[in-house]
Amino acid sequence: MNIAIYGAGGFGKEVACLIKRINNHGGQWHLIGFFDDTKEAGLSVSSYGKVLGGMETLSQVQEPLAVAIAINDNKAVRRIRESITNPHITFPNLIDPSLFYVDEHTVTMGEGNIIQNHCMISCDVIIGSFNLFNDHVVVGHDNTIGDFNGLMPGAHLSGGITIGNNNLLGVASVVLQGMTIGDGVTLGANSVLMTQPRDNCTYLGVPAMKFDF
């Protein structure tokens, strides 16, 4: 099936590499190019393809097309998804072949998720839609993860955690077991969340404390 990437930046190139790895393990995606509102149509994106246009061009597609939203900003991903109303567009889960499941049969997942290399997902895990799991993310047992969350490289979730929507967990951050994270929380790189965070706040440090800019 034809697939395009929304976002022609560095992360878009990484998703193009992910699609190649999936195809090397039996996938059948045909990458037709990139959509991006900030770059000129026809611009080459390294060796991976060209920019086809922006949102207006995508809205005019008249045949089935899978789209991966490759923007490393969960709030922007949500805005883009809400702007795509073309009924011909679908949003597949792109999962690196290196993903390790403890028990795949007890994991459920929505649409539009991107899971990069060498991640691990345990058992009895519920994952929503349009989440990014970057490299080496670990998701423990009995976790529930909502929509539009970004888990940066090396983020670790212990067991029994509930995460809402639009949260960002920084590089090598840790959430201890049994925690509940609501919406709009940012956890800084190398931080360890040990207490209940407030919505739409930033937490930094070990243990992670609320940080006011």
pLDDT at position 213, please? 76
Number of Cβ within 10 Å of residue 79's Cβ equals 12
Confidence grade of residue 142 (pLDDT, cut at 50, 70, 90): very high
Confidence grade of residue 134 (pLDDT, cut at 50, 70, 90): very high
User: Is the four-CA dihedral 110, 111, 112, 114 of positive or negative sign?
Assistant: positive
Q: Which domains does the chain have, with CATH numbers?
A: 2-92 (3.40.50.20), 95-211 (2.160.10.10)
- Looking from the CA of 151 toward its CB, the CA atoms found within 13 Å total 31
> Helix or strand or coil: residue 54?
coil
pTM of the model: 0.96
pLDDT at position 84, please? 97
Give the pLDDT mean for 45-53.
Answer: 97
Quick: pLDDT tens for 53-92: 999 999 999 999 999 999 989 999 999 999 999 999 999 9
Q: Are 75 and 124 in contact (CB under 8 A)?
A: no
- List, in sequence order, every residue forming a beta bridge with 178; answer none if it has no partner: none
Give the pLDDT mean for 34-40.
Answer: 96
Quick: pLDDT tens for 153-186: 999 999 999 999 999 999 999 999 999 999 999 9
User: Could you give the CA distance from residue 212 to residue 88 in angstroms, rounded to a whole number?
Assistant: 43
Region of 7 please: left (phi>0), alpha (psi -120 to 50) or beta. Answer: left
11 has a pLDDT exceeding 90: yes
138 has a pLDDT exceeding 80: yes
197 has a pLDDT exceeding 90: yes
